Structure 1
Amino acid sequence: MKTCFLLILLFFSQLLFAQDTLYQINGNTTRITTIKISSGVLYYRNYPSIDSSTNLISLDLVKRIVYTNGVVFEPEQKQVVATKPIPELQYTDALSFNSFDILFFPTVTFAYHKFSKSGYFSYKIPLSVGMYTLNKNEDFKKFSFYADNPYYAAGKVFSTGLDLLFYPMGQGSFKPYLGGGLEGGMGKVWMRQYSPTVSLSDYYAEGTNNFYEVIFNVGICSTVSKRVIINCGAGFGLQYSILKLNLGPSYGNMHQTDLSGTLRGELSVGYLFK
């Protein structure tokens, strides 16, 4: 009877102090007493103490559990979807020449472009130099201060500014863009003067037109080769002008301001470097 009692006590002590082995994904191995597995969490106590506090570990961190009776439990591991990093642009700097300006205006325009490595953003610094002549070409009528005294644009002297552009499609060989910019510069103007003693063909006033523009730009940037880009776009916005004209000794200087709409075009070829 005594032997039977000892065997029963030994059996229950083995159950009470059962040793399981926990293998974690990070390589750690721990002897434990398993309490339960619930909702993706393993509840256990460190072996051999049964009075220690209960520990918790996510099954995502468990490689397998080997129970005392030899049964092996391996939780199903969640598949981790590897995200492909966005490749960086190989070349982020460019110099471009805007053929639109020289085709439609007597202006030479170069620009420096700086692209973000992700390809989603860029900024551009244009520089335009005008090839103006005071030829009294009335096709360039800009604004009439008085019904009989319009002034005419003789051409741009220079302008520069800053454009910020966003490319919704990121990288690619053919991507649209939109953005805004500020530009400022100076132009030459002239005005006919009406005098009963001076011929109209011989008497005119010369002056300058300092202008400041706020532009909204849209267009398409195309990468035609590893180092060559073509931009085709348009811009529209507002121009604030300050006109200064020397009307001669009889009338002195005239200062006027003007707020009007403005348009611009771009058909540029750029070379990528750096």
Structure 2
Amino acid sequence: MLAGLGNPEHSLAQDIIVCINDTRIEARVLAVKATAISYQHWTGPDSSITIISTDYVRYIRYHNGTQQNFASVVPKRLSVLKERKPVNLGRNVVGIRPVDLLSINATLTYEHLFGSRRRVGLKVPLTLKLVHARAENYYSWVVYQSSSWGYYQSNKFFGTGLELNFYTGPPARFRYFFGPALQYGRFRYRSGEQYMGEADFFGLNLGKVYRYEDAVGEHVALLLNNGVRYQVGKRCVFTGEGGIGWQTKVLDKDHKNLDTEELAGSDFKIAVNLGFGYQF
């Protein structure tokens, strides 16, 4: 690569890429490797990054007047100029998590990407219950779920949080990311109170009586997430992520009794999410 590429002024000036079929591309050259050239079209600093094979380039004339020539290896189909699909450099991504629909929840997410290379993202999820339902008794539910995690997911009616994502490598259609995530949610649970029944006509007690009520608990978790992000088409993105960490459930102090002992407290948490988004 010529020395002119390392000049800070290079990003502010125009380069000309001349292809072997005499196509002229007004561009800002970002990197020149042995077999590929990365550049942005001359439409502004946030235009998409395109990668073209050096087999299709005759020379590059840089803004400072220098010229870099390439070996004249003529491809079989001279009329076809192959370029890799452009990378979306939009800073905003809105998305959904369709798996949450299995728990009758709707989750929307918003992520803002920072920096010229989009290496840091700040994401905020918001979960709302679609249909209000009476909370299940924990011990009857545990037969099917075998853990309080499934109980929380099924009875959650509000959730939010904050996720800080660090993306590795330069902007690309496929990227890996990792970072911390804070979760907060509220869920309904069913508590039962046990007391002695009233005496009958003969003064004998009728035995124990149970009274059940719905109450609201809080859920807080801190996780370390990691996942992958793939750009589908020009604007759509797919994300798959998983995290491990610690969670705490706090129950209403006036409704912490029968059927709730195993539900409260802190324990290990594993989270998995799939998302689809639109980047702009």
Q: Indicate the TM-score class for this superposition, using the shorter chain for normalisation.
A: 0.5 to 0.7
The structural deviation recorded for 1:247 is: 4.8
Per-residue CA deviations over 1:107-146 (Å, capped at 9, x if unaligned) read: 2110001112312221101001124412525325756xxx
For 2:207 and 2:95, locate their aligned partners in 1 and report how far apart those are by CA, in whole Å.
Answer: 46
Q: Judge conservation of contact 1:190–1:245 (CA < 8 Å) in 2.
A: no
- The one of 30, 51, 56 equivalent to 1:85 is 30
For 1:216 and 1:200, locate their aligned partners in 2 and report how far apart those are by CA, in whole Å.
Answer: 47
Q: Judge conservation of contact 1:233–1:265 (CA < 8 Å) in 2.
A: yes
How many positions carry a matched residue from both structures?
183
For 2:212 and 2:112, locate their aligned partners in 1 and report how far apart those are by CA, in whole Å.
Answer: 44
Q: TM-score, normalised by structure 2?
A: 0.56
**Correspondences of 1:1-274 after superposition (within 5 Å):** 80=3, 82-83=5-6, 84-85=29-30, 88=46, 90-103=89-102, 105-116=103-114, 117-131=116-130, 132-136=132-136, 138-140=140-142, 153=152, 155-195=155-195, 197=197, 203-244=211-252, 246-247=254-255, 258-273=265-280
For 2:239 and 2:89, locate their aligned partners in 1 and report how far apart those are by CA, in whole Å.
Answer: 19
Secondary structure class of the residue paired with 1:82: helix
Q: Judge conservation of contact 1:110–1:127 (CA < 8 Å) in 2.
A: yes
Q: TM-score, normalised by structure 1?
A: 0.57
The 1:272–1:142 alpha-carbon spacing in structure 2 relative to 1, beyond 3 Å, is: same
The structural deviation recorded for 1:189 is: 0.9
> What runs of 5+ residues in structure 2 fail to find an aligned partner?
7-28, 32-39, 41-45, 47-87, 198-205
For 2:248 and 2:189, locate their aligned partners in 1 and report how far apart those are by CA, in whole Å.
Answer: 15
Max radius of gyration: which structure? Answer: 1
For 2:208 and 2:242, locate their aligned partners in 1 and report how far apart those are by CA, in whole Å.
Answer: 38
The structural deviation recorded for 1:195 is: 4.9
Match of 1:4 in 2: none
The structural deviation recorded for 1:266 is: 1.3
Q: Which has the higher contact order (CA 8 A, sep 6+)?
A: 2
Q: Judge conservation of contact 1:192–1:200 (CA < 8 Å) in 2.
A: no
For 2:255 and 2:3, locate their aligned partners in 1 and report how far apart those are by CA, in whole Å.
Answer: 78
The structural deviation recorded for 1:203 is: 3.1
Q: Judge conservation of contact 1:128–1:158 (CA < 8 Å) in 2.
A: yes
The structural deviation recorded for 1:264 is: 2.1
Q: Judge conservation of contact 2:195–2:210 (CA < 8 Å) in 1.
A: no
Q: Judge conservation of contact 2:165–2:178 (CA < 8 Å) in 1.
A: yes
- Structure number having the greater strand percentage: 1
Secondary structure class of the residue paired with 2:156: strand
Match of 2:24 in 1: none
For 1:142 and 1:270, locate their aligned partners in 2 and report how far apart those are by CA, in whole Å.
Answer: 31
Q: Judge conservation of contact 1:129–1:159 (CA < 8 Å) in 2.
A: yes
For 2:207 and 2:4, locate their aligned partners in 1 and report how far apart those are by CA, in whole Å.
Answer: 83
> What runs of 5+ residues in structure 1 fail to find an aligned partner?
1-78, 144-151
For 2:207 and 2:238, locate their aligned partners in 1 and report how far apart those are by CA, in whole Å.
Answer: 49
Q: Which moved more, 1:186-195 or 1:219-228?
A: 186-195
Q: Judge conservation of contact 2:195–2:209 (CA < 8 Å) in 1.
A: no
